[in-house]
Structure 1
Amino acid sequence: MPWNDQKGGGGGPWGSGGGSNGDNNSPWGRPQGGGNQGEDLEDQLRKVQERFKGAWGGGRGGSGGSGGGGKGLGIAGIFLLIGALAVAWIATGVVVVDAGQQAAVFQFGKWQRNLPAGIHIHLPQPIESHQLIEVEAQQEVQIGNSADQSLMLTSDENIADVRFSVIWKVSTENPQDYILNVANPEATVQMVAESVMREVVGRSELQRVITTERAEVARQVQELTQNLLDQYGAGVEIIEINIARGDPPAPVIQAFNDVNVAEQDAQQLINQATRYANQIVPEARGEASIILEAAQAYKAQVIAEATGEASRFLQILAEYAQAPTVTTERLYLDTWSRILSRTQNTVLDNDSGAVPYLPLENTNRRPTAN
């Protein structure tokens, strides 16, 4: 070896320090007991540097080795350096993908494939390179913090103050689009979601936006936003739309509340009128049905009586045709019988020879209607 000095007086691997006793030299070439005590530290450092230069083929060998041995170690060092550089170059093609990540591999800048979680190898740089993408991390964009963003016009020409947030993440199906097609993903999601919200609110009435149909509005916004981002190839997945606020603007909220109260009062009166109508209409229909049935009964009665009188008249007419005198007298007597039965008069016929009799107990009798 170059440091193995076989000459007499050679000491440690850093050269001899002089003196007659070489076996007692220290590693820095300084004798432990006497000899060359005035040599300073700078000279020692200079000698160490020269020894290193010689060991790596620096062209000048030290006092303890030949020129051929120094040259051989320099070539080996070069090969070791080349090997280390080769290993470092190959290591640029090793990628470790953590859980919740994907790695997009590019060949000379052109996307080739995506790598799932795990340890993978691709061609070293600059042939192929990779970029890690967080595909499971959720991000949130707040929209409506300013009046320019929150004030929206509804279909019934009212103004709604809408504030909402968008929960999104990188798409696991096409994460490379997130890198290649979108320069500012957060701003893109914000502008698209705000535009879609204005469209949905513009097609809806104010009452829908601020009351029970708010969840339906959020669902429509999420669906339309996702479709629009897919058309752009943004590589973004919309997870949820949360509408934090949907109210009239602050300057008109009192008037809006008054209108709501008036509408509620009007609806209450309408409900009362409807309830009264539901009560009175069936009663009126029942009374009308009773009247109609009574009229039908009276009609049938009148017709039956008329038919009976006509039949009786025809029968009397037939009897009259057979015996006119007897029939006429019988009709005469029957008629007076009906008339006199309704009066309180008592008629005495002196010509018949009957004894006059006045039934006083019947004088106060009231007539009965037939």
Structure 2
Amino acid sequence: MAWNQPGNGNNNDRDPWKNQGGRDQGPPDLDEAVKNLLGKLGLGGSGKKGGGKSSGGGFPTKGFGIIAVLLVIVWFIAGFYTVKEAERGVVLRFGNFHNLVESGLHWRPIFIDSVETVDVSNVRQFQSEGFMLTQDENVVHVELDVQYRVINPRDYLYAVENADRSLAQATDSALRYVVGHTTMDEVLTVGRENVRANTLELLENITAPYQLGIQIVDINLLPARPPEAVKDAFDDAIAAQEDEQRFIREAEAYAREREPTARGQVRRILQEAQAYREEQILKAQGEVARFNELLPQYRAAPKVTRERLYLETLEKIYSETAKVMVDVEGGNNMMYLPLDKILEKQRRTIDSSEMNNGQGQSSNSSSSTSGQNSGQNSTTNSTGRTSDRYNGGRG
């Protein structure tokens, strides 16, 4: 039964606002309850009544000190931060640059210093591409891959508004300048390395005054291509250039193959000419020496000497010619010369002399002196033999 149920004659005993002693105290005092709670926490007095007034008058000094200590502890702990191994930290004090910090655990006074980290170890990259006009007024699609890394975190963050975007714009400008001063054939084929090197040099010169805090590691010019509308025609042109280079290499190989043979033939002809020259000189010298030997004899007996020379000449001719002698009774001797045999013998003589000249040209030069001496000796011997014969005939 509820404490205030009708018919309950003793409702006063169930009143919750009354103490156990039966004295009515009324509603609880909220101020007193708060003071008692703070007293238990050590932040205020116990709140006893004395003459209707409370002895506690607000938060004491001890309570504020504890709160301040707690706040200082939280502020100190919140100041710790970590910089990763591949990063560097840029410390700002009241918004101005203060210093750089390496990787590891660091502390900063929070609300005074702020830290921004920058990756300085990993290599970054981006691509610059587009349709560009070449020197010969052709349009070509060019793609350039750029690799770079940060070497100065302070300049990278605060020298320009956005270092990455500035580098991309400078790359596009440098690439368009180099392509604009290069023909399309060079961009598509043999001049790609020059385009890459010139673009890298120009890009470094452009970015140096801005102090972006960036180092360009490398750039790579991807294969360029013409617009799709003229792609087939340029493919044919490139194929023709490749054929040209192939034909040039084949011609150079043929030249390298034929040149030694031609040089050998030149040396052989020169040696043959030199040998022939020396042979003719020696022969002429031998003839001169022979006639010098005959001159005194001719002056002594001109008729006999002429007859002797005539007989020697006929002897030489007859010794080298096939002949048939026919003895006719009661008449002079008649000589028959077979022309077919003579011609055949001459052909064999010519062939054998050509063969000997081809094989023995190397030894002709070294034996020229000995040939000269032998020619002179043979002339002398021939002259002596003729003289002996002549003297024997006269004797």
User: TM-score range, shorter-chain basis?
Assistant: 0.5 to 0.7
Percent identity over paired residues = 30
- TM-superposed deviation, 1:319: 0.6
Letter paired with 1:103: G
Return the offset for 1:257. Answer: 0.9
- Structure 1's 143 and 301: CA in aligned 2 closer, same or farther, altered over 3 A? closer
Q: How do residues 1-370 of structure 1 correspond to structure 2 at under 5 angstroms?
A: 18-21=17-20, 48=30, 51-52=33-34, 64=48, 69-71=55-57, 73-87=59-73, 93-125=79-111, 128-136=112-120, 139-144=124-129, 150-154=130-134, 158-171=138-151, 174-202=152-180, 206=184, 209-210=187-188, 221=199, 225=203, 228-334=206-312, 356=330, 363=336, 365=338
2:135·2:182 contact (CA, 8 Å) conserved in 1?
yes
Corresponding residue SS for 2:56: helix
Deviations along 1:41-82, one digit per CA (max 9) or x if unpaired, are xx88xx55774378779xxx9974566652364433333344
Cα drift, residue 115 of structure 1: 1.9
* CA-CA distance at 1:358 after TM superposition: 6.4
Counterpart CA distance in 2 for 1:200 and 1:116 is 40
Quote the Cα distance in structure 1 between the aligned partners of 2:86 and 2:223: 33
Shift of 1:325: 4.4
Given that 2:322 and 2:337 are in contact with CA atoms closer than 8 Å, whether structure 1 keeps it comes out as no
In the alignment, the residues of structure 2 paired with residue 108 and residue 101 of structure 1 have an alpha-carbon distance, to the nearest angstrom, of 22
Deviation at 1:188, TM superposition (A): 1.3
- Note the aligned Cα RMSD (angstroms): 4.6
What secondary structure sits across from 2:140 in the alignment?
strand
Q: Is the 8 A contact 1:56 1:77 kept in 2?
A: no
- Deviation of residue 295 (structure 1)? 2.6
Unaligned residue ranges in structure 2 (runs of 5+): 1-15, 40-44, 350-395
Deviation at residue 85 of structure 1 after TM alignment: 4.4
TM-score by length of 1: 0.65
Write the distance in 2 (CA, Å) between the matches of 1:153 and 1:169.
Answer: 30
CA distance in 2 between partners of 1:168 and 1:49 (Å): 69
Q: Distance in 2 between matches of 1:73 and 1:340?
A: 161
**Structure 2 CA distance, aligned partners of 1:55 and 1:70?**
12
Contact 1:164–1:245, Cα closer than 8 Å, also in 2: no
Query: Match for 2:34: what amino acid?
Result: F
Amino acid at match of 1:185: A
Number of corresponding residues: 319
Structure 2 contact 85–103 (Cα < 8 Å) conserved: yes
Q: CA deviation at 1:318?
A: 0.7
Quote how far apart the aligned CAs of 1:92 are: 6.3
Which deviations, in whole Å up to 9, do the C-alpha atoms of 1:289-321 show, x marking residues without a partner? 333333322222222222222222222211122
Q: Conserved in 2, the CA contact under 8 Å of 1:218 and 1:241?
A: yes
- Structure 2 SS opposite 1:194: helix
Structure 2 counterpart SS, 1:247: coil
More helix by share: 2
How far apart in 2 are the matches of 1:288 and 1:85?
Answer: 105
Question: Using the alignment, how far apart are the partners of 1:65 and 1:138 within structure 2?
Answer: 76
Q: Using a 3 Å threshold, how does the CA distance of structure 1 residues 81 and 225 change in structure 2: closer, same or farther? A: farther
Q: For 2:49 and 2:202, how far apart are their aligned partners in 1?
A: 81
* DSSP-derived class of the 1:248 partner: coil
How many angstroms apart in 1 are the aligned matches of 2:276 and 2:123? Answer: 85
Secondary structure class of the residue paired with 1:246 = coil
CA change 1:124–1:336 in 2 (3 A) is closer
